[in-house]
Amino acid sequence: MKILVLDDEKIVGERLKASLEKDGHALETFINPVAALDRIREKAFDVVITDIRMDDMDGIQILEAVRKKAEKTKVIMITGYATLEVARESLTKGAFDFIAKPFKLKEIRGAIQKAEDALQAEKN
């Protein structure tokens, strides 16, 4: 699957890239939301994984943009500042899943798997 990861902490993208590419996914990682958004406009991703709290733009805006531009793309939110309010807002605005940091890799793998299943189901 084509996955875009956006997190202003570089290490997050690196760690996800290292492990998820082993599962056979193609990853592009970004630390700058604006650059990530440009890339999303150019290319269709299956899954976008985005942090919520970032400097220029927050993850909710990314979510809204993705929902507008690429309806099929599944958005998974990750954040260390998760609150009920933010999580609910994300889900209401169409996020596919919401994962609190710190998380285990298996959680993100599970979410990606579910996204894959959902995409598959939509196709059929």
Partner 1 sequence: MPIVLISSSPHGSGRELAQNLAEKTGWTLYSRDQVVEKAYETGIRLSRLETSIIKSPVIRENLARERDLYLALVAKTICETATDGNLIYHGRAGHLIAPGIPGVLRVGLGSTLEMRIDRVMKQLNLPQEKAREYLEKLDEDIEKWIRYIHRETSRNALAYDLFLNLQHMTLENASTILYETAILKDFRLTLEGRNKLDDKCLAANAKIHLARNPETSGMDLGIRAVNGAVTVTYMPRQEVSAASISKALRGLKGCRENICTMAETNILWIQESFDPKGENFDQVTQLAKRWGAAIELLRLDSEGKEIFLNHGLENSQSGPRSSQMDTGGVEDDDIDTGYEDKGLSETVEELVAIGRSAGGFSISGAAREVIDAVKDNNNYSLIILGNLFLSKGHETSTRLTRELGLELKEKLKAPVITSGELHSRFLFGKKQAFKLLGYVLATFLIYWLVFSFQDPILNILGGELHSKFKWAASIGIALFVPVVAYVYSTVTGLVLKIVDID
Partner 2 sequence: MEHLIVNFIHIDMSTALQIVLLGFIGGVLSGFIGSGGAFFMTPGMMNLGVEGVIAVASNITHKFGKAMVGSHKHGEAGNVDKKLALYVLVSAVIGIQLAVFINSLLFKGGTGHGASKGAGANLYISLVFTLILSVVALSMLRDVLKNRGKGDDDSGPSRQIADALARLNLPPMIHFKVADVKVSLWILLLVGIATGYLAGTIGVGGFIGVPAMIYVFGVPTAVAAGTELYLAMFMGAYGALSYAFQGFVDIRLTMLMYLGSLVGIYLGVYGVKVVNERYIRMVTSLIILLCVISRAIAIPMYLRQLGLIDMDPGLDVYFNNISKFFLFASGISGTLLILINVVRSYRQRRKIQKSIRVVKSSSSKLSLGVE
Chain residues binding partner 2 by CB under 8 A are 104, 110, 114
Q: Compare residues 17 and 114 and give the one whose CB is closer to partner 2.
A: 114
Cis bond upstream, residue 33 (ω within 30)? no
Sign of the Cα pseudo-torsion (102, 21, 91, 32, in order):
positive
The reply on whether position 98 binds partner 1 by CB under 8 A is yes
Sign of the Cα pseudo-torsion (68, 70, 71, 76, in order):
negative
Among 2, 39, 101, 114, binds partner 1 (CB under 8 A): 101
Stretch that binds partner 1, among 26-34, 38-46, 81-89, 113-121 (CB under 8 A): 81-89
Q: Quick check: 45 and 70 in contact, CB under 8 A?
A: yes
- Shortest Å distance, C-beta 19 to partner 1: 20
